[in-house]
Amino acid sequence: MALQEAMRKSVREFAALLGIETTTITNWRTGLGSVKPRSTTQAILDTTLDLRATPDDRARFEQIVAEGEQLWRERHGRTSEDGQALAIPQTSIIAEVEPSQSPVVPADLDSDYVESLHGRIRQLVDLDTTFGGDQSSGMALQLFRTVHRKLGVARCVPAVERDLYAAAGELGEVAGWLLYDAGQHDLVRQVNNEALQFSRLAGDRNMELLTLQNMSMHAGYLGRPVEALRIARMVLDQHSLSPRLEAMFRIREARALAQGGDESAADRVFDRARSLYLDGVAEDDPPWVWWISDQELGWQEATVRADAGQWQKAADEFYASVEAIPEREVRSRYSHLASLFNAQVRAHAWHDAADTLRRVLPFVEEIRSTRTASTLFDGIDHLDTVEPAPSVRDEARQLREILVGVGYAR
């Protein structure tokens, strides 16, 4: 595996980076199993080389590939039987020799293709709900890249062109969210911007707004509150929003203000968001406003408290939010429990933190979410700066071992 060697990562680290199982990489190396890194995974590897590899990684990769080509020449000779120079077969990022192929021009894109995209988008959302972004983000990114390519080379039935671009924008929004959960932040920014472009080309204002609020959320997560605030206020200034949609962007505004240290302004803005939420849903609101529920509003208030360093209030509100999560939303429960644990640790609520840790443990090996693992590491690391109860320290040590064992590193 040329790229793995160039990036100097273990099998476990490389699998975590790609969002796949370690056994898959082992099968690539040994030639066992039916999984082959051709079109689907190769695109993820290409993206990893382009955006995740350092200049030194790329230099090592080019050297490894060049050495592989030289070895091929030595084994197979430089010329064919008729004396013509032999072309070196194309070498993939996995350093696997395979014959070059002419690009295939896709069939015309029609209403059936658009409907199939919507079906796969629903499947990706279901995967996120159950398993987390680490495992589903790779599939979403590959599908988005494939759709992106088809839009550039395939003909489209004119009657479905707008629907096609709208579906591409929705797919990009979902892929951006999954990549955010997987901790692939450079890709998040790129995919969000591409999704925004597709939604604007389609004239899909509702998906444009959802993508913009994701962008504000992501900027805040990266420690860029000024950018997060600018995006939220740009939408509030430039768009006429229903009460529920305005509430969504007021929440983003409040979080950015709290992250920027203006707690009083954050409180005022969040109170306004709550009032707008209570006005209810308008007839022309998009279907996705369902996510702004009582439970979600409580969760968002908890995050504002956490951003402002009000840890006891945050812990109380995170707890109420966790208890309100539907049973089927497994990934959300795991993520919210992680935030609850982090808040309890910082509030020195040792008994409650130990109880939350015991609730978290069953999810760690089943749900793959780099974002959630990072939150758990934040809480565990904070324990090293205080004097927690022995039971909490022991439980946290066990949790760290499990996180490391499934491929996460701090």
Residue 298 domain flag: no
* Domain final residue, candidates 203, 224, 254: 203
pLDDT digits (tens, 9 = 90+) for 129-147: 999 999 899 999 999 999 9
My answer on whether 143 and 186 are in the same domain is yes
My answer on whether 175 and 92 are in the same domain is no
Please choose, from the candidates 126, 6, 120, 110, the residue with its C-alpha nearest in 3D space to the C-alpha of residue 68: 6
Residue 311 domain flag: no
pLDDT at 85 (0 to 100): 43
pLDDT at 276 (0 to 100): 96
In this structure, the chain runs to a length of: 410
pLDDT for residue 96 is more than 60:
no
- Which structural domain range is residue 285 located in? 209-292
Contact 357, 402 (CB under 8 A): no
My answer on whether 110 and 88 are in the same domain is no
- Region 60-82 average pLDDT: 55
Contact 305, 317 (CB under 8 A): yes
- Region 204-223 average pLDDT: 96
Report the chain's mean pLDDT, rounded to a whole number.
Answer: 84
* Domain final residue, candidates 168, 203, 238: 203
- Region 66-90 average pLDDT: 48
Contacts 24+ apart (CB under 8 A), 10-18: 12/407, 13/407, 13/409, 15/407, 16/134, 16/370, 16/407, 16/408, 16/409, 17/48, 17/52, 18/44, 18/45, 18/48, 18/138
The whole-angstrom separation of Cα 330 and Cα 132 is: 9
The whole-angstrom separation of Cα 156 and Cα 111 is: 9
The number of domains in the chain is 4
Residue 180 domain flag: yes
Contact 307, 259 (CB under 8 A): yes
pLDDT at 7 (0 to 100): 67
pLDDT for residue 382 is more than 80:
yes
Q: Which token pair is 92?
A: 């993939």
Contact 110, 154 (CB under 8 A): no
My answer on whether 198 and 213 are in the same domain is no
Q: 3-state class of 98 per DSSP?
A: strand
pLDDT at 16 (0 to 100): 64
Listing DSSP states for 137-153 in one string gives HHHHHHHHHHHHHHHHH
Residue 20 domain flag: yes
My answer on whether 247 and 196 are in the same domain is no
pLDDT digits (tens, 9 = 90+) for 297-324: 999 999 999 999 999 999 999 999 999 9
pLDDT for residue 374 is more than 90:
yes
Residue 280 sits in a domain whose CATH number is: 1.25.40
Residue 307 domain flag: no
Q: Which residue has the higher pLDDT, 223 or 39?
A: 223
Among the residue ranges 77-86, 219-228, 381-390, the one predicted with the least confidence is 77-86
Q: Which residue has the higher pLDDT, 390 or 250?
A: 250
In the structure, what pLDDT confidence band is assigned to residue 289 with cuts at 50, 70 and 90?
confident
Residue 403 domain flag: yes
Q: Which residue has the higher pLDDT, 150 or 409?
A: 150
The whole-angstrom separation of Cα 262 and Cα 143 is: 41
Find all residues with CB under 8 Å of 230, minimum gap 6, and list them: none
My answer on whether 243 and 328 are in the same domain is no
My answer on whether 124 and 74 are in the same domain is no
pLDDT at 119 (0 to 100): 95
pLDDT at 262 (0 to 100): 96
The whole-angstrom separation of Cα 156 and Cα 154 is: 6
Among the residue ranges 18-32, 73-87, 143-157, 205-219, the one predicted with the least confidence is 73-87
- Region 26-50 average pLDDT: 52
